[in-house]
Amino acid sequence: MKKKNLKGLTLEELEDFAEELGQPRYRGWQIFSWLYAKGVKRFEEMSDISRNLRGRLAEVATISHLDASSYETSSIDGTTKFLFALSDGLRIESVIIPPDPIDSIGADTGKRLTLCVSTQVGCPLDCKFCATGAMGYTRNLTPGEIVDQVIEAQKHSPRRITNIVYMGMGEPLMNYENVMKSIEILTHRRCLNIGSRHITVSTAGWAVNIRRMADEERKVKLAVSLHTLDNGLRARLMPITRKYPLDILLDAVRYYYQRTRLRPTFEYILFRDLNDTDRDLGQLITLARKIPCKVNIIPFHSIDFMNPSGVAATLRPSTRERMSAFVDALRENHVMVFVRSSAGEDINAACGQLAVKEEASFGEKAGVGVV
C-alpha cells in the first residue's frame, strides 16, 4: 500500500485521516500543528502523540519536506535567496526580502519580513524580461512544496516572516487549487498564522482565475504584472496577452475590486523609450482613476546571465531621471505609488531574476551557506 503524504493536507483533511485510522478527530489538529507550526519531519518527534500511534503513522503515512540545499545572502541589502531541492531532484528558488527603505513614505516597514515563494518549476508564460520563463516549464508545485518554502525559510531567519508573496518562479494562477490550498494552511492559526491581508498573489494576467478569486471571496491581495497599456507591446513582452488581451484582463481586475473591495496592485517595470513616455504616463493615470489601485514602479533587472535574445536583448532600464519624473507625475495626479529598489540584484534574486542554474554555479559567490 502506498503511504499517504501528510504534508500539504489541510486541517479538515488531517482530521478525516485520523478518523480513517480509528482515532478521534483532534488527533488531526495535533498532527497539523506538528507539521506546520513546528515543522517536524519525523513522526517520532510528535511527543504528545502515543508511541503506538506514531508507529502506526509511520506505517501508513510519510512527511515530505524540502531541503534547503544552499542559500546566499546579499552583502548589500541582506536579501537571502534559497535553493530548494524537491523530492524528484528538481530545484526551485525562494527569496527573503528585508524591508525596503524606500518602499512607501511613512509606512511602518520595520517589522515586516517578506518571503517570495515559487509555485511552479519554471514557468510556461515566457515573459521576455523574466529569467524564469527562459527555463521553460516542468510542473506545478504541490501545496506541501509551497508551504514548505515558508517553513524551511523561517528556520533560517532570526526574524519572523510576516508577509508572503506568490511572485517567485511560475504563474500562481495556473496552479490555482494548490496555491489556494497552501494559503488556507499558511493562514490557519495553528500553522504560521499569517494574516490573509499579508499575502499577495501576483499574476501575469491569468484573467479567468482572477475572476475565480473574486467569486470565491479570497481575501488576499492581488498584484498584476502590467508593464504597459499598449496591447501590441504587451503581447511582445508578455505572450499571455494573446490569450487574455488587456481589455479582458482589466475587466477581471475591475471585477476583483468590486467583489472584494481590495485595491489591486499594478506592477510596472520601466523600460527606456518603450513604456516610460508621456503617453504611457497618461494611460496609467487614467487607469488609476477607473480602478482604485496601487502602482509598483520597478527598475528593470538584467537577466543577461540567462543569455537573452530577441525582444529581451533590446530591453534597457529607464534612466534614473526619467523614473523620478514618471513617479513624481503619478503622485501629482494622486496615484498611490511605491518605488521598489533593486534588492538582491547582486545575487540574481531581484524581481524577474529567479532561474535555477547549475547548483555549482549557485554557490560560487561569497556569502553562500550550504545546509
153 contacts 115 by C-beta, under 8 angstroms: yes
**CA 312, CA 271: separation in Å to the nearest integer?**
11
In the block, residue with C-alpha cell 510596472: 268
Cell numbers 524528484: residue? 88
Length of the chain: 371
**How far is residue 211's CA from residue 256's CA, in Å, rounded to a whole number?**
6
Residue 180: which residues within 8 A CB-CB, separation 6 or more?
216, 218
Catalytic residues: 93, 351
| SS3 per residue for 140-171 | ECCHHHHHHHHHHHHHCCCCCCCEEEECCCCC
CB 300 within 8 A of CB 319: no
Which three three-digit cell numbers place residue 245?
488581451
Measured in degrees and rounded to the nearest 5, phi and psi for residue 237 equal -80, -35
Which among 241, 244, 285, 239 is positioned nearest to 266, based on CA atoms? 285
Strand residues in 86-226 grouped as ranges (E): 91-97, 114-116, 120-122, 137-140, 163-166, 199-203, 221-225
Cβ atoms of residues 249 and 209 within 8 Å: no
